[in-house]
Structure 1
């Protein structure tokens, strides 16, 4: 009898390879984002897409606050053409980053989601600007 894991067979290796390679085109993790920001080697704009009060309470250092509902053509025209935007929100339980990514993609702009958001950042033990100690995310 198959376990719940193996009752659906794994995809063939070539399909798995395509799938996992493609995911990297849509996602950046907290560790890579932190490394890029810490070394000054960030060739992207990090957008905190949460409401301003959440941003003011704590945010990833170097992030710009732009709530997903305010991502419009006029606002995005302020950034250089072909800018890569990396978006995040509270964490895996929040779909704000997904909504922001949709809006950016609809505008024809390059976008990735920082998976984990504030929760992932805290889990890695990274510091917040204006915020709690590492490992603690402000509750709404």
Structure 2
């Protein structure tokens, strides 16, 4: 049962704050792709998965920084002045959330890419692996197959 009533209401400050915070700290594959394609994304994309996952497939241009390595390597591979976007496997994995939390406690400005690598690939966006680049067809359950973006 929902806690929302059907009557029209004034602007709900708590709801506005909640959704504004989500957009401040989360992004999605379509928006990340558009930013990367612009050539000036304004962030560094960080793949927080382990070596086997990285070898299997990753987002082109991502920096490989597994969550467990953040305390030792972040200062060497990330510029504190450049915002970070983290991703992991997908919605069933909270690795990118843990990585984002670690980076935030270290003073980095960070967002998490919701959907992770799974939804990046399922939306038909380019991936690369140790075998080279690839693009999979968009999954019609996650993205419109006739458009280059989610159009939302």
Secondary structure, aligned partner of 2:127? coil
Assess if the C-alpha contact under 8 Å between 1:58 and 1:132 holds in 2.
Answer: no
The aligned counterpart of 2:37 is 38
Structure 2, unmatched stretches of 5+, are 139-152
Contact 2:104 2:110 in 1 (8 A): yes
Equivalence map 1:1-140=2 (5 Å): 4=1, 6=2, 8-9=3-4, 13-72=12-71, 74-78=72-76, 79-130=78-129, 133-135=135-137
Structure 1: which 5+ residue stretches go unaligned?
A: none
**Equivalents in 2 of 1:41, 1:121: separation in Å?**
19
Q: Hey, what's the Cα distance between the residues in 1 that align with 2:62 and 2:80?
A: 19
Count of residue pairs brought into register by the alignment: 130
CA distance in 1, matches of 2:82, 2:125: 25
Give RMSD over aligned pairs: 2.0
Name the TM-score, length of structure 1 as normaliser: 0.83
Larger relative contact order (Cα-Cα within 8 Å, sequence gap ≥ 6) = 1
